[in-house]
């Protein structure tokens, strides 16, 4: 782990993407489904996942999208990124979604579909179940 940006404790199934996510343009606010055909999570729902992706990109207004999907109960339970960006950081802060950044090695070791628990109070916050 590199940094804790928003703290919290959750469990869930990993939804992993190797593409960065532009929340403003590619995530449906009502359904939490990725609507960008060119994205590797196209048509996948973010709801209740532990979303693992490199970083956010695009306009900082995308933070409001993260807040909206949380209000509509279709948000991920936590987000884990390689790099902290201001859009995802503020979006998760607004919506109170736990967010940490991890090393490249840790990023490679997490696979799509894995069941994990995340506890930012633990010195080793990610546990495979």
Is residue 54 a contact point for another protein (CB under 8 A)? no
CB of 117 to another protein, least distance (A): 21
Phi, psi values for residue 106, rounded to 5°:
-60, -40
Size of interface with another protein, in residues (CB under 8 A): 24
3-state secondary structure labels for all residues of 100-111: EECCHHHHHHCC
Decide whether 43 or 71 has the Cβ nearer to another protein.
71
Stretch that binds another protein, among 14-22, 86-94, 102-110, 112-120 (CB under 8 A): 86-94
- The verdict on 33 binding another protein (CB under 8 A) reads no
CB burial string 33-56: b at 16+ within 10 A, e below? bbeeeebebeebbbbebbbbbbeb
Active-site amino acid positions: 59
- From 4, 10, 33, 110, residue interacting with another protein (rule: CB under 8 A): 4
Q: Verify binding: residue 92, another protein, rule CB under 8 A.
A: yes
d(CA 75, CA 97): 8
In the list 1, 10, 19, 29, the residue contacting another protein (rule: CB under 8 A) is: 29
CB 75 within 8 A of CB 9: no
Closest of 80, 81, 82, 88 to residue 27, by C-alpha? 88
85 makes contact with another protein (CB under 8 A)? yes
Give the footprint of another protein on this chain (CB under 8 A): 3-6, 29, 60-61, 63-65, 67-68, 71, 84-87, 89-90, 92-94, 96, 99
């Amino acid at each position: 782990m590199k940094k804790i940006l928003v703290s919290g404790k959750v469990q869930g199934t990993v939804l992993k993407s190797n593409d960065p996510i532009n929340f403003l343009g590619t995530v449906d606010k009502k359904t939490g489904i990725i609507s960008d055909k060119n994205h590797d999570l196209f048509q996948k729902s973010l709801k209740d996942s532990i979303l693992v992706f490199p970083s956010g990109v695009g306009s900082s207004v995308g933070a409001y999208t993260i807040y909206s999907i949380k209000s509509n109960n279709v948000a991920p339970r936590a987000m884990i990124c390689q790099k902290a960006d201001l859009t995802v950081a503020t979006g998760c802060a607004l919506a109170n979604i736990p967010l940490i950044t991890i090393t490249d090695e840790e990023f490679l070791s997490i696979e799509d579909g894995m069941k994990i628990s995340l506890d930012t109070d633990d010195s080793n916050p990610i546990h495979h179940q």
